[in-house]
Amino acid sequence: MVSLRDVQKSFGPLRVLDGVSFAVQRGEVLALIGRSGSGKSTALRCIDRFEKIDSGEIRVCEHRVDAADIDLRALRQDVGIVFQSYNLFPHLTAAENIALAPRHSKGKTRAEANELTARVLAQVGLSDKAQSYPEQLSGGQQQRVAIARSLAMEPQVMLFDEVTSALDPQLTGEVLKVMADLAAGGMTMVLVTHEMAFARNVADTTLFMHKGRVHEQGGREMFDRPQTAELQQFLGTGL
């Protein structure tokens, strides 16, 4: 579903991604962990072509993402992305925020969009907030609406970029539960997170990124037996 091969990306003289390669199969959850500046979020943004890579190859859902002639609209119908900031339209209700893209990008009728909106709001546990405006919702509820908005596009892959980093622990738990439910339902997911317990318990594979490279990767055992001093230190076990 997602494949990166020897991806290189620099911002000016700064090499942010230095030969990054990994693959995600259908229904798998991949977590990217590492210190700030290690390249995690840049790798995620390259998957959805928010950033262009300098060299290498990215394939997502049969789209060649690094191709000059890629159809971005088609790519983003297959790939949903949720950021730390909710980016909801403040003058629209939760339901209106969600229904907007299916109607304008996928040509859904009003009735079809309304049915789809009701389904994804139920999926994130916010059926009772359909007519609420963003300012009437907590941060966790706004983030769940943002997730529902991406789900309404019926993507094959979901990307999550540190979506809980601005939330307090209780609200973080609300959002992580929605993400765990998506994973249990078979959604293919790539997520950047600082929530180590979530990565350990939900991800099929976790990649530890360090200085723009995949420094270590594995399953749950990686958290118990890190193989490198850098990961030991990152996890707080390098004492």
Per-residue pLDDT of the chain (239 residues; tens, 9 = 90+): 999 999 999 999 999 999 999 999 999 999 999 999 999 999 999 999 999 999 999 999 989 999 999 999 899 899 999 998 888 999 999 999 999 989 888 888 999 999 999 999 999 999 999 999 999 999 999 999 999 999 999 999 999 999 998 888 888 999 999 999 999 999 999 999 999 999 999 999 999 999 999 999 999 999 999 999 999 999 985 43
Give the whole-angstrom CA distance, residue 45 versus residue 236.
28
pLDDT of residue 238: 45
pLDDT of residue 170: 87
pLDDT of residue 239: 38
Count how many Cα atoms sit within 13 Å of the Cα of residue 131 in the half-sphere of its side chain: 0
pLDDT of residue 166: 82
Give the domains, in start order, of the chain with CATH numbers. Answer: 2-87+157-234 (3.40.50.300)
Count how many Cα atoms sit within 13 Å of the Cα of residue 175 in the half-sphere of its side chain: 30
Q: Which two structure tokens, joined as six digits, stand for 181?
A: 């439910």
Query: Residue 135 has what DSSP assignment?
Result: G
Strands in the chain per DSSP E: 2-11, 14-24, 29-33, 55-60, 63-64, 79-82, 157-161, 188-192, 205-210, 213-218
